[in-house]
A and B are shown apart, each in its own frame.
Chain A
Amino acid sequence: MKRESLNNLVGKLTTGLMYTFLAFWSIVVIFPMAWVIVSAFKSDAEIFMSPWMPPAELMWDNFVRAWSKANIGLYLLNTMTVNLPAIFFTLLFSAMAAYVLSRFDFPGNRLVFYAFLGGMLFPIFLALVPLFFLLNSLHILNSHFGLILVYIAYSLPFTVFFLTGFFKTLPTELLEAATIDGANQLQLFFLIAIPLAQNGLVSMGIFNFLGMWNQYILPLVLLTSNEKYVLSQGLAFLQHQQRYQSDWSGLFAAVVIVMLPTLIVYVVFQNQIQRGLTVGALKG
């Protein structure tokens, strides 16, 4: 009897500790984000003098400055100009390659597959210098088109690898039935294989979108003029500029503009996004 109550006490203590720790980590995660959102509505003086106080009045002007004067609007447009086509063609080209690699037997099939696989072993830093000069000699340095090609090329290895595995698990009956009905290969691919692979494509779309959204080193090396910058690069640029001419409230507003949409998209599509991101580690 005595022992049981002791166990009970230990159990209660453990539960209490668990909740304390969860609360602690929640604060650690939420606080910095909440702080930057609140600070984005303050004046520079308030940020400086009273970092813990809420803003006396909401300074919406910070957002206006960030959007137009600090070019966040332009950087966002550039990011979409690069990322959307890059993702579309990454998915298209990867799906085409994966479809062939998973459904056809031909000499060199394994060679191509392992060549793609091998690309994942190399750190991107090793390619930077030749990549810079390659784009320069092709006259696509400092162009969004060049960056799109590079994004596609570096997204291919994992996407092809993942989708090849995915296509292999799909039932072949539908494809066979359609072949008997006289569908040609293009119809098979676009009308049957692609819709069947929808889940895999969505996962890879999310995975690559966040990868490109986060990408910093490639645009830093390959886009050299300010009006071409993508968001990550533009934000880093503002941050560095900030050291000479301070407009902190504007910078915080810029961070919020960049951060908030992704948070909202995440809250809406949390399950797909968590799956899309962890898929890399689980299958890898």
Chain B
Amino acid sequence: MNRHKYRVIIPFLAPAVILYLVFVIYPYGRSMYNSFTSWKGVSANQPFVGLANYVRMIKDEFFWGALWHNIGYLIFLPAIIIFLSLFLAFVISQGVRGSRFYRVTFFFPQVISIISIGVLFSYIYHPTVGVLTSLARFLHMEPFFQLFGFDGIPVWVGDPRTVRMSIGGVVVWQSVGFYMILFLAAMEAIPNSYYEAATLDGASRPRQFWHITIPLLWDTMQTAMVYVGLLAFDMFAITRVIVVSGSSTGRPADVLATYLYEQAFDASRFGYATAIGVAMFILMLTLSALTMRITHREAVEY
């Protein structure tokens, strides 16, 4: 029986395990090593340089710039996305008319590829053709933007001051529907009797939301926060499509992922690029662990 068992186990596991070892485990392990070399990719020899790449990284203002931009996304994206999606989920769960329509429509952006969305929005933001600019002009919003020190209507992705806000806006546009559906699914699992009891006690709907829904949704919100956090650390595709990297507008939009790609595949600094990758890995891991820890509460059971 025992030998018989392994005649199943081994061939069934082999394809997955082999592909995984070769194309996933090996590159990750190799990266850890490469980050200690000054490899340029051309020669077979990979001079070992110890921590030189990491020292260089600490002194590299572009690295810090990119990291700072990731941190900016990390602060704003989870807050805005989770707030909006939670609010929409709450409103829809109140049994509004046409809730089916909203559920389907708000999820739309999630099924369009991020590159299509990027192309779409780079024209929405276009300073001459873009509808955002012509809408702002139509509404005579120039004085409003002048309050913030702009000459008139900002040029969105063309302006270092607004480029990250514009890119972040696209991500919010795309993600809200997804998290709304996620929260709705979790809300529907809450027994109706809780709300009925609260209504009898005279609690208003916003109060019910605050004291019943939120505590019971905490686990899902925590997951959502980790997901959006990881998203804020990525931002590669959307940034690459909306902004020409390396251009004058490229730097203000840099994130670690685009900077890593540029260092590796445009500048051939492979050792340095992998060191940036290791930094990303450590940051993402720490961040996820921190989010779980900070938001940890005794889960409310029902």
Contact = CB atoms under 8 A, between A and B. Distances in A.
Given A123-B233, A127-B31, A216-B114, A99 B264 contact: no
B83 interface: no
Given A52-B131, A185-B8, A284-B223, A128 B264 contact: yes
A213 B227 contact: no
B109 interface: yes
Contacts of A32: 120-121, 124, 173
A128 B16 contact: no
A178 interface: no
B185 A278 contact: yes
B280 A51 contact: no
Q: Interface size class for chain B?
A: 35 or more
Chain B CB count within 10 A is highest, among A126, A150, A239, for A126
Interface in B89-134: 91-92, 94, 96, 101-116, 118-124, 128-131, 134
A178 to B, nearest CB: 14
Contacts of B273: 128-129
A18 B26 contact: no
Interface stretch (A54-62, A168-176, A195-203, A267-275): A267-275
B96 to A, nearest CB: 6
A18 B260 contact: no
B156 interface: no
B166 interface: no
B257 interface: yes
B94 A18 contact: yes
B277 A251 contact: no
A74 interface: no
A128 to B, nearest CB: 7
B32 to A, nearest CB: 8
Contacts of A126: 27-28, 31, 274, 277-278, 280-281
B112 A274 contact: no
Contacts of B94: 18
Contacts of B88: 21-22, 25
A177 interface: no
B239 to A, nearest CB: 11
Interface string A228-242: 000111011011100
Contact of B13 (A100, A123, A213): A100
Interface string A16-31: 0011011001101111
B281 A29 contact: no
B172 to A, nearest CB: 10
Contacts of A28: 173
A278 B181 contact: yes
Contacts of A47: 129
A267 B9 contact: no
B205 interface: yes
Interface in A258-284: 258-259, 262-263, 265-267, 270, 273-274, 277-278, 281-282, 284
Contacts of A22: 88, 91-92, 96, 102
Contacts of A152: 19
Contact of B280 (A19, A35, A125, A239): A125
A157 interface: yes
Interface in B227-273: 227, 233-234, 236-237, 240-241, 244, 256-257, 260-261, 264-265, 270, 273
A231 B116 CA distance: 9
A14 to B, nearest CB: 7
A48 B128 contact: yes
A278 B124 CA distance: 29
A145 interface: no
Nearest to A116: B20
A51 B19 contact: no
B23 to A, nearest CB: 4
B110 A277 contact: yes
B274 A129 contact: yes
B17 interface: yes
Contacts of A134: 22-23, 26-27, 30
Contacts of A192: none
B41 interface: yes
B5 interface: yes
A232 B113 contact: yes
B116 to A, nearest CB: 5
Given A48-B129, A106-B6, A235 B119 contact: yes
Given A127-B27, A232-B113, A281-B227, A93 B16 contact: yes
A150 to B, nearest CB: 5
Contacts of A160: 16
Contacts of B198: none
Interface in A23-79: 25-26, 28-33, 35-36, 39, 47-48, 51-52
Chain B CB count within 10 A is highest, among A104, A127, A132, for A127
Closest 6 CB pairs of A and B: A153-B23, A126-B277, A130-B27, A127-B27, A130-B30, A97-B16
Given A30-B105, A258-B116, 12 more contacts: A32-B120, A97-B12, A119-B20, A128-B277, A131-B23, A134-B22, A152-B19, A214-B113, A217-B261, A252-B123, A258-B113, A278-B182
